[in-house]
Structure formats: C-alpha cells, structure tokens
Structure 1
Amino acid sequence: GAAFLIDYGFPAAEYYHPQRHMGTVMCHQGHRADGDPLAEVGRKDITAHVDFTGIALAAQDAGLNVLGYASQGRFLINCGLPGLAEAAGVAERARAAHLIHEHEMGELFKVIALGAGEPWEPMGFAQGDRSHTL
C-alpha cells in the first residue's frame, strides 16, 4: 500500500530559504489573502506550506519508503490526465489545465508517495521525480 500526500510546499532547501524568513503563513478570507493570522480571528482560514523533506524524513524514521516526489502537474500528466481531458467538455478541460499548468496549481502543489514493504514506482513519478531534492 501507499499514501499519497498532495499539498503546497517545498523541499527543506527552498522551505528554509532566507527569503522566507517570515515563514509561509497565509490567511484567506473570501478571495483575499493576507499574512496576519491575528486580524479578524475566526473569520479566515490560516494555512502554511509543507516541508516535504521533513515529511520524507519522518516517514523514513517510521519505516516507510519515499516512492516519489513531483509537482502535481507532472504527476497528473504522468497519470494521463491530458488524455482523459481530451474526451471531456470545455469546462472540464479548463479545470484540468488549471490543475497541471505550471503557473497555476501544477507547480505550486506537490505530490509525495510513501509506502511500506518492497519499494515500487507509481506511474505518477515515471518522469520528473524530484525525490533527489528531498
């Protein structure tokens, strides 16, 4: 079996880059984003990016293997989403493009797969596996 974690974040080298000295906390309310979690408490969602290196190390400490790590866009392309989208309507193709485009969710979101037992390579990591960056 395997667990696939999909979230926005970075490997440790990017996550702890000096340009991020204020962290990655973001707040969302409606269609607005800000960085002040103490303003309008209880009225907005608070989120932060993931340290994928930390996830990989914790998984390995627990006896799991990292099966792959890639951008969401590359993962979905490897899994055949563009081909599936060809048979879909215009709105569905637009939503699929939003998921894989590098200037949309495709690069911001990452996928890491963790598994127990014999390592195997899920098709989503056939090309563009970035496990070496963890």
Structure 2
Amino acid sequence: EYYHPQRHMGTVMCHQGHLADGDPLVAVGLKDITAHVNFTAMALAAQEAGLNVLGYTTQAHFLINCGLLPKMEQLPQAQRATAAKLIMEHEMGELFKVLAVGAGEPWEPVGFSHGDRSHRL
C-alpha cells in the first residue's frame, strides 16, 4: 500500500508515549521514528549498486539469533517484559524487519542464521 492516496506524504510515523504522529521534527530525540519500507526495492537497488544481500528476516529472528534470550534471562522481570515486546509475534517481533547488505566478499551475519527470508525479496 505504498502508493495509496492516504500516503501522499510518505510513510514516516512517529511514536511517543503510546501516541502516533507524522512529524519527526517535533520533540526531536524523544520519539521513535519508523517508516514502511519496500525491502524488495531496497535489495534490488543494493544489488544494482554492486552490493550483496546478506540477509532479510523479522526483528524477532534477528534479535534471537544475536543472543537476546540469554541476555533477557539476566534482567529483572519488568525489564524482561519490556524486552519481550521486541520479539513477540503480535508486537514488534514480526512487524519490523531487518535487511543487511554489504560490499566485498559475501559473509553470513549471525543475525540471519535462522529464519532468513532473503528468498522472499
């Protein structure tokens, strides 16, 4: 839905205190800023520029592959619950994606060791 008429100003969204708005220049540094991204177009542009697609996956797979779970076990319960939102399927875990590209000899980043979805791009 990148080209939907409602998105004539783009897809940038800001979040602060459970409220959303579209102005990243208000309360700079106090908001989370996100945007809808066409990862297929990004991967193709990277390849056309001579870069390698190293991986594409969900935020949950990426963080778990990078060792988040053992680190969460060391946190107090309140912080553990907050960190869990990063990997929960119905929260940020599946909604957000990670794409890595690189130059030179291709290598396999640990964040994509399980759940790589590069074949879907």
Give me the TM-score of the superposition, normalised by structure 2: 0.76
Give the C-alpha shift of residue 43 in structure 1. 6.2
- One-letter amino acid of the structure 2 residue matched with residue 128 of structure 1: G
Aligned partners of 2:97 and 2:70: how far apart in 1? 21
Identify, as 1 or 2, the structure richer in strand: 1
Give me the TM-score of the superposition, normalised by structure 1: 0.69
Give the C-alpha shift of residue 92 in structure 1. 2.1
- One-letter amino acid of the structure 2 residue matched with residue 124 of structure 1: G
Where does the alignment leave 5 or more consecutive residues of structure 2 unmatched? none
Identity, in percent, stands at 59
> Where do 1:10-49 residues align within 5 Å?
22-23=6-7, 25=11, 27-28=13-14, 31-33=18-20, 48-49=35-36
- One-letter amino acid of the structure 2 residue matched with residue 86 of structure 1: E
Aligned partners of 1:22 and 1:80: how far apart in 2? 39
Between 1 and 2, higher relative CO (CA 8 Å, sep ≥ 6) is seen in 1
Where does the alignment leave 5 or more consecutive residues of structure 1 unmatched? 1-14
Aligned to 1:91: 78
SS at match of 1:92: helix
Which 4+ stretches in 1 moved above 2 angstroms? 20-34, 42-48
Q: Select the residue among 51, 68, 71 that pairs with 1:64.
A: 51
Task: Sort the Cα spacing of 1:58 and 1:29 in 2 relative to 1 into closer, same or farther, 3 A.
Answer: closer
Give the C-alpha shift of residue 22 in structure 1. 4.6
Aligned partners of 2:107 and 2:5: how far apart in 1? 37
